[in-house]
Amino acid sequence: MAIGTIIRTFHNGRWHEGNAPILGAADHGAWQGTMVFDGARAFEGVTPDLDRHCARLIESARVMGLNTTLTAEEIAAIAREGLRGFAPQAAVYIRPMMWSRESGPGIVPPDPDSTDFALCLEDLPMPEPRGLSLTVSPYLRPHPLAAMTEAKCAALYANNGRIIREALARGFDNALSRDHEGNVAETASTNVFMVRDGEVFTPAPNGTFLNGITRQRVIGLLRADGFTVHETTLTVEDFHQAEEIFTTGNAAKVMPVTRFEDHRLQFGPVARRARALYWEFAHSGGGAR
């Protein structure tokens, strides 16, 4: 399903206007779920960390067992070419993806050399930081021995969707998900941070969730600005004791949480600073479009 109203799709060496069909019913990626993708952003004339998102797509394809002849630089160049079809300041979601066309030996594994590629650009406004509400999900992140958690693969998102559906049914926007030991991993769609006594805490990557590119960027920016940032094991109770909670992710970058279960929270000074630092980075040349 399309998320934008203006869509450009690159497939088979050319651009198509709209939500172009790219998968066949018999494609291995359609019925065996070998699709990997990534997400980057264009907004206010910049594309921060586009190169790192494209490089992660190639790494996700490798984890899935797919070969590709494209480089990260070539994928980024395709994205920039496509963005010229949008207004210079447009907010656009950039989604490159790869999947297998054919089965390999035994039908279930993919044929590594049947990898196909597409890149979809959709207009998607950057949301205002009005504040999110979070609960705690009853569903867990998969163990790294049970799923390809080190890849950004489409198959993992069915569980994420289940987490959000359950949270919405209880009146929340999203939910903290936990790992197999009961510790906080992330939300269903973002990495998560909390603030206590002026210091910043975020779950340490343990293989159950993606160490997000925006997450890494925000950690570096906060540390360079003088903040103490701890990557550590965190429990749900730690979040109940937080003075601030905020999330990081590609779609919205840095967003405050203003309600955690029955606790009201402020869009506090640390989250505001993290958001300001990210925007400064994006417009300083690090995110040149």
Beta strands in the chain (DSSP E): 7-11, 14-17, 36-37, 40-42, 92-100, 115-123, 132-140, 174-178, 184-187, 191-196, 199-203, 229-232, 244-249, 253-260, 263-264
pLDDT at position 3 is 75
- At the topology level, CATH places domain 132-283 in D-amino Acid Aminotransferase; Chain A, domain 2 (3.20.10)
**pLDDT of res. 80:** 98
Report the pLDDT value the prediction gives residue 264, as an integer from 0 to 100. Answer: 97
Residues of the chain short of pLDDT 70, as ranges, are 1-2, 286-289
pLDDT at 26: 94
Q: Are 57 and 96 contacting, i.e. CB atoms less than 8 angstroms apart?
A: yes
Average pLDDT across the chain, whole number: 96
For residues 101-113, b (16+ Cβ closer than 10 Å) or e, as one string? bebeeeeeebbbe
Options 3.30.70.270, 3.30.365.10, 3.30.1540.10, 3.30.470.10; which CATH number does 7-123 get?
Answer: 3.30.470.10
Q: Where are the domains of the chain?
A: 7-123, 132-283
The pLDDT of residue 1: 52
DSSP codes of every residue in 25-77: TT-HHHHH---EE--EEEBTTB-TTHHHHHHHHHHHHHHHT------HHHHHH
- Render pLDDT for 264-281 as a digit per residue (tens, 0 to 9): 999 999 999 999 999 999
Summarised one tens digit per residue, pLDDT across range 150-165 is 999 999 999 999 999 9
pLDDT in tens, 19-51: 999 999 999 999 999 999 999 999 999 999 999
